[in-house]
Amino acid sequence: MKFLTEEEIKWKGVDYYVSLKKKWNKDEYGKYWQRIYSGKPSVGAMVYLCDKWKPESYEDFFNMYITNYSGNDKIHRGRSLEELENIAVNWQKDTGDYNTPLSEYFDAIILHTIVETYAGNDFEKKAIQAMLDTKKFIIEKSSDEEDSAMSIDFKVFNLEHKLLYFIQVKPISFITSDKLHTFKDRVNAFEKHKKGNEIYPGIPYYYLVYDAYTNKWVVNPNKNRCLFKYDELVKSNGEPQRSKYIMQKYESETLFNNN
C-alpha cells in the first residue's frame, strides 16, 4: 500500500459502514461514484461475485473480495487492496475534497461494493425462499447481463413453467433518495423495463422493497401485500410516489404476512 495503513484498510464492522451512507450518497461524492467507479470494469460484477462465492457474512464477502483478484477478467474477479486504494485516490482527486481522509474514501468503496451488495443479495435470497416455500412457483435467477440491461433480479414461473412476472428487489433509499444520481437511476429503470418487455412481451415487473435499517419488508397499503408496480413507487420523471416516512409506516417482518 502506498498511502493507507494496515489499520485503515481493515474490516470495520457493518454498523460503521452503514453510518457512512448519509455523507457518501451525497451528489458531491455519489455522482463520481456512479459515473466512474461503480461499474463492473472498475470494481467488478458485485452481484455476480456474491452469488458465486456465497459468503456467509459481510466480513466473509469482504475477505473473499480482497483475496480473489487474480486473472485478466476484471469483471468477474475481486480487487486487491492496492487496486481499491487507487480507486480511493482517484475518487478523492475527482471530488477535490482533501479534508476528508483518504481512508474514508476507501471505506466508502467497501460500503458500496461489499455492504450494499451483500444486504441486497440477502434480501433477494429471502424473497426467493419465501416464494419457493409457497410451493406455487418456480424461480429462475436472471443472468448478470439481464439484471444490468433489463433490471431483472429473478423470474417467477408457475409450476407448469409459464413465465408470470419479473421481480426486482430494492431498498427504500432507491425509491426515496433525493440525490441526483439516484433520480437518474430511477428514470433509467423505466427504459430497462421497456427493453425487458421487448424481449419478453407482456411480462409485468413487480418490486419488493426492503428497509435495511429495520430488516423488514415494505407493505403496499393499497393492496395489503409486499408487492408494488414500479409506477406505484416512482413517477416517470424519477420523483418518488411515496416518502420514506410513509413507506416506513407500513412494514412487515414476513414477506407474505399481508397476503
Q: What is the pLDDT of residue 194?
A: 96
**Domains: count for the chain:** 2
Helix axes 102-110, 81-95, angle to 10 degrees: 120
Pairing of strands 205-211, 163-171: parallel
Tell me: do 27 and 109 sit in the same domain. yes
Q: What is the pLDDT of residue 255?
A: 85
Helix axes 46-53, 58-67, angle to 10 degrees: 110
Q: Which residues pair with 163 in a beta bridge?
A: 157
Query: What whole-number distance in Å separates Cα of residue 44 and Cα of residue 41?
Result: 6
Query: What whole-number distance in Å separates Cα of residue 203 and Cα of residue 175?
Result: 22
38, 112 in Cβ contact below 8 A? yes
Range of the domain at 141: 136-252
**CATH assignment at residue 186:** 3.40.1350
Residue 159 lies in a domain: yes
Tell me: do 44 and 76 sit in the same domain. yes
170 DSSP assignment:
E
Tell me: do 75 and 147 sit in the same domain. no
Q: What is the pLDDT of residue 257?
A: 54
* pTM for this predicted structure: 0.85
Residue 24 lies in a domain: yes
Query: What whole-number distance in Å separates Cα of residue 62 and Cα of residue 53?
Result: 11
Pairing of strands 251-252, 216-218: antiparallel
Q: Per residue of the chain (259 residues), what is the pLDDT tens digit?
A: 899 999 999 999 999 999 999 899 898 999 999 999 999 999 999 999 999 999 999 999 999 999 999 999 999 999 999 999 999 999 999 999 999 999 999 999 999 999 999 999 999 999 999 999 999 999 999 888 888 899 999 999 999 999 999 999 999 999 998 888 889 999 999 999 999 999 999 999 999 999 988 889 999 999 999 999 999 999 999 999 999 999 999 999 988 754 4
The secondary structure of 74-139 as a DSSP string is SSSS---HHHHHHHHHHHHHHHT--SS-HHHHHHHHHIIIIIHHHHHHHHHHHHHHHHHHTTS-EE
Query: What whole-number distance in Å separates Cα of residue 245 and Cα of residue 154?
Result: 28
Residue 108 lies in a domain: yes
Q: What is the pLDDT of residues 38-93, one digit of tens each?
A: 999 999 999 999 999 999 999 999 999 999 999 999 999 999 999 999 999 999 99
Tell me: do 70 and 149 sit in the same domain. no
Task: State the cell numbers at 223.
Answer: 393492496
Query: What whole-number distance in Å separates Cα of residue 111 and Cα of residue 104?
Result: 10
Query: What whole-number distance in Å separates Cα of residue 159 and Cα of residue 139?
Result: 10
Residue 258 lies in a domain: no
Tell me: do 145 and 104 sit in the same domain. no
Residue 128 lies in a domain: no
Query: What whole-number distance in Å separates Cα of residue 92 and Cα of residue 160?
Result: 53
Task: State the cell numbers at 81.
Answer: 487492496
